[in-house]
Chain A
Amino acid sequence: MKPETLTTQERIVFELRELYLGYGYRPYKVGKFEEYDLYMRNKKFLASEQVLTFSDTNGKLKALKPDVTLSIIKNAKDDGRSQKLCYTETVYRVPRNAYGFREILQTGLECIGRVDDYAAGEVLMLAARSLERICERYVLDVSDVGVLSGVLAEEPIGDADCARLLSLVGEKNLHGLSVACAEMGVSQITTERLTKLVSACGPLQETLDRVKLLDLPETSREALAGLRRMSDMLASYGGGNVNLDFSVVNDMDYYNGLVFRGFVEGIPAGILAGGRYDNLLLRMGKHGEAIGFAVYLDQLERLASAKPAYQTEALVLYDDQTDPLEIVRATEELRARGVSFRVQREEEPCPTCREIVRLTKERDA
């Protein structure tokens, strides 16, 4: 197959599938529709709460999938065995600050059952390598929600205040953080810890060394130790552009432990998101642990390296005087040479191409 036959999106879908299959992730296919109830119960897990719904022939309210993970978890066998799955699916959702539903192609993987250090490290490495396949200049931001939740657990603040502080952390909003902490009566030491954690961001190993020196609660230290093990594993895999950044925050009702987000140069938004979501499993009445990520492929055509999918190399022009058999002979000859071509009437507008084969009267003249 010629490389230009594939669009950037198609090429990446194939390359990522090859990568995931290579590590034993089994392809998994889910249907386009799902019962709306599943999303009603887990609204906060979704990137956007709006869901495209319709009534099925039996009157049941169905939805076009806004998410793949929930369906995979719903159908996962609860037999204590580990499952490694990968998928490429279209989801339907309203992106942030967009006006209306969009069809978004995403690919990703899930590891469900038992997630030990090896399994988590493997997923993190696959996230980094996924980004690397898309663009050499990438950054994978990694955090562990346990670090921040350990710090916040020292304060007698409610869920709403906790969510507000996390949102400010997510914005790297230091001025807002200090004002909010003062308003909530959060202690000086917690305010300082939060400020220092938000400010500490950079290459994983180095930044972990710096954060280690901070005075943090024991639960936060345990989470940092987990990140250190991940860092060591990634180093054994050959490293990568992985940063520690505590501004990666996900909803703690669903996520626990490792969380990460990926960026590539040239695309103005994150294109990979994932993390450890044992809490989601628990909420859905399943046992065990889970980790996974999704890569959003809808923006990949914006990459500078993206080329038009298919460029015609030759143009075969004909008119009323041309014998159709002559066209067939000419095109078969081009095909034998491995040249792509487009046959069209002479008066139609010509696309740009490398070679023109004219089978018209003008040629005879």
Chain B
Amino acid sequence: MKRMINIALPKGRLGEKAYALFAHAGYDCPELLEENRKLTFENESAGVRYFWVKPSDVAIYVERGAADIGVAGKDILLEYAPDVYELLDLGIGKCRMCVAGPKDFSDSHTGILRVATKFPAIARRHYAAQSREIDVIRLNGSIELAPILGLSDVIVDIVETGKTLAENGLAVLEEIEPISARLIANKAHYKFKGEEIEALRKMLERAVNA
């Protein structure tokens, strides 16, 4: 008997792009894109059940087994370090995790560096590797504002085109890691639905490379 694969997709543009890849790979479910109040969407013949969740929650749904697989940005995976398999780079939602700050900023290493970010774990890890003492300022949005108002010296954030930074007199000072969407899987569920998940991964890989 074919076992259904539960898939957590991130709400928003990235999720829609990811779904397009799944559909192209033969795992379509048209009602997913319709305006309705349903929470889960099923294509029984393809053996998949989708649901939309907040992008930062995908990793939690997968790690805790509510979803067998999911699509999560590498930024989320680096920040939360969930205990999951990372099976495929989907090559969508590409951007960079960067240190950014005023264009002419240079770290004098005289005091504690103030770093504003939505990604405290990534910031801590990055500067710990350089033995640099930092003061992490955790923000939930408008990170670019922090160095402009003097709240922080630099920011650690994702940069797509760099346009917002440039418009505010800021620039990328250091690139930490390239980011894109990844296919992740729950480790335990992979043991029991491995065949189905591997078949899906292979088809997705083809769709990504097409």
A225 to B59, CA, bound (A): 38
Q: Is the CB of A137 within 8 A of B87?
A: no
Q: How many A residues have CB within 8 A of the partner chain?
A: 18
Best-surrounded residue of B64, B187, B192 (most CB of chain A within 10 A):
B187
Q: B155-193, CB under 8 A of A: which get 1 and which 0?
A: 000000000000000000000000000000011110110
Q: Is the CB of B86 within 8 A of A172?
A: yes
**At the interface, yes or no: B89 with Cβ under 8 Å from chain A?**
yes
- Verify B85–A172 contact, CB threshold 8 A: yes
B83 to chain A: closest residue by CB: A96
Give every chain B residue within 8 A of A141 (Cβ-Cβ).
Answer: 191
Chain A residues near B191 (CB-CB < 8 A)? 139, 141, 243, 263
B63 interface residue (CB < 8 Å to A): yes
The residues of B with any CB-CB pair to A shorter than 8 Å are 60, 63-66, 80-89, 186-189, 191-192
Contact of A268 among B80, B87, B88, B188 (CB under 8 A): B188
Question: Which residues of chain B are within 8 angstroms of A171 by Cβ–Cβ distance?
Answer: 84-86
Nearest 10 CB-CB pairings of A with B: A268-B65, A175-B89, A139-B191, A173-B86, A171-B86, A263-B188, A172-B85, A263-B191, A265-B192, A268-B188
Residues of A near B188 (CB, < 8 A) are 263, 267-270
- A sample of 14 more A-B contacts (CB under 8 A), given A97-B60, A270-B188, is A97-B81, A139-B191, A139-B192, A171-B84, A171-B85, A172-B87, A173-B85, A176-B89, A243-B191, A263-B187, A265-B192, A268-B64, A268-B188, A269-B187
Contact A247/B85 with A97-B63, A267-B188, A268-B65 known, Cβ cut-off 8 Å? yes
Q: Is the CB of A268 within 8 A of B84?
A: no
**CA distance in complex: A272, B64 (Å):** 17
In the assembled complex, which residues on chain B have CB atoms less than 8 Å from the CB atom of A139?
Answer: 191-192
A residues apposed to B, CB below 8 Å: 96-97, 137, 139, 141, 171-173, 175-176, 243, 247, 263, 265, 267-270
With CB as the reference atom, state the residue of chain B lying closest to A243: B191
Task: Verify A269–B83 contact, CB threshold 8 A.
Answer: yes
**Contact call B82/A97, Cβ cutoff below 8 A:** yes
Distance of A285 Cα from B128 Cα, bound (Å): 31
Q: 21 A-B contacts, Cβ less than 8 Å apart?
A: A96-B82, A97-B60, A97-B81, A97-B82, A137-B192, A139-B192, A172-B86, A175-B86, A175-B88, A176-B86, A263-B188, A263-B191, A263-B192, A267-B65, A268-B66, A268-B186, A269-B83, A269-B187, A269-B188, A270-B187, A270-B188
| B84 partner residues in chain A, CB cutoff 8 A | 171
For the complex, give the distance between the alpha carbons of A175 and B80 in Å. 20
Looking across the interface, which residue of chain A has its beta carbon closest to that of B183?
Answer: A175
Chain B residues lying within 8 Å of A267, measured Cβ to Cβ, are 65, 188
